[in-house]
């Protein structure tokens, strides 16, 4: 029994030591559903047993990663604090409300300011196109055009992926798989040196009338 417990503890300690620590910022405008998405990750993924209580900070475990997530306020005053976190982040998740077309111009301005910051330039960004369940939600391919994403990520040498999602409390687990897939993509890029970007190809995805386009990545 003692030998068995020792073996189990040794494997557990090795697993903990092998985990890669990654820090991710969750940002986006107010009312984008950002915090609901963070709560979805908290339900879907295990957290550290010794997770310390700190406002806006969550530490979750996914595959070989230990992920520290900072959920930053998206109102005007909260956005002023974002730059204080840029240097410590390995990657970013930007959440936007796909159904709020009136604020797309504001999103574009903020994204441009974000990507142009030298502490962010070159870091991977996962853009979660939230509220796809809304009737008037923009498709990911339309969001790419609205925000001029291809030009932005080329100009500032950042890798970007757009993942459609719907952050609804008590949504079945299977409906949240796109955000887990997107997070895995982000973590993989955070822990390896991404290749230089010479040109961003146009989206390979086409859509018919009324058809949702799948995630696009550059």
Query: Which of left, alpha, beta for 148 (phi over 0: left; psi -120 to 50: alpha)?
Result: left
* 42 annotated as belonging to a binding site for a ligand: no
Radius of gyration from C-alpha coordinates of the chain: 18
* 131 annotated as belonging to a binding site for a ligand: yes
Whether 145 and 162 have beta carbons less than 8 Å apart is answered as no
* 34 annotated as belonging to a binding site for a ligand: yes
* 7 annotated as belonging to a binding site for a ligand: no
* 35 annotated as belonging to a binding site for a ligand: yes
- Buried b or exposed e, range 114-149, using 16+ CB within 10 angstroms: bbeeeebeebbbbbbbbbbeeeebbbbbbbbeebeb
* 74 annotated as belonging to a binding site for a ligand: yes
* 71 annotated as belonging to a binding site for a ligand: no
* 97 annotated as belonging to a binding site for a ligand: no
* 133 annotated as belonging to a binding site for a ligand: yes
Q: What does the block give as tokens for 167?
A: 């952050």
Tally the C-alpha atoms within 13 A of residue 145's C-alpha that lie toward its C-beta.
7
* 29 annotated as belonging to a binding site for a ligand: yes
Q: Are strands 216-217 and 160-164 parallel, antiparallel or unpaired?
A: antiparallel
* 132 annotated as belonging to a binding site for a ligand: yes
Q: What does the block give as tokens for 36?
A: 């609901």
Binding residues for GTP: 28-35, 74, 130-133
Annotated binding-site residues for Mg(2+) read 35
Which residue numbers belong to the known binding site? 28-35, 74, 130-133
């Amino acid at each position: 029994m003692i030998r068995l417990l020792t073996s189990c503890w040794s494997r557990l300690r090795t697993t903990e030591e092998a985990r890669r620590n990654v820090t991710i910022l969750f940002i986006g405008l107010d009312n984008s559903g950002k915090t609901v998405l963070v709560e979805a990750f908290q339900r879907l993924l295990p957290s550290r047993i010794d997770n310390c209580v700190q406002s806006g900070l969550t530490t979750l475990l996914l595959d070989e990663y230990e992920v520290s997530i900072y959920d930053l306020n998206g109102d005007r005053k909260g956005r002023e604090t974002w730059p204080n976190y840029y240097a410590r982040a390995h990657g970013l998740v930007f959440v936007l409300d796909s159904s709020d077309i009136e604020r797309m111009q504001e999103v574009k301005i903020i994204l441009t300011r974000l990507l142009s910051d030298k502490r962010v330039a070159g870091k991977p960004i996962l853009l979660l196109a939230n509220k796809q369940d809304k009737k008037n939600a923009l498709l990911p391919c339309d969001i790419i055009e609205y925000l001029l994403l291809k030009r932005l990520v080329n100009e500032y040498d950042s890798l970007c992926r757009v993942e459609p999602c719907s952050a609804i409390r008590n949504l079945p687990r299977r409906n949240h798989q796109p955000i887990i897939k997107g997070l895995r993509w982000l973590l993989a890029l955070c822990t390896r040196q991404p290749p230089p970007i010479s040109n961003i190809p146009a989206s390979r995805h086409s859509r018919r009338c009324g058809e949702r386009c799948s995630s696009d990545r550059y």
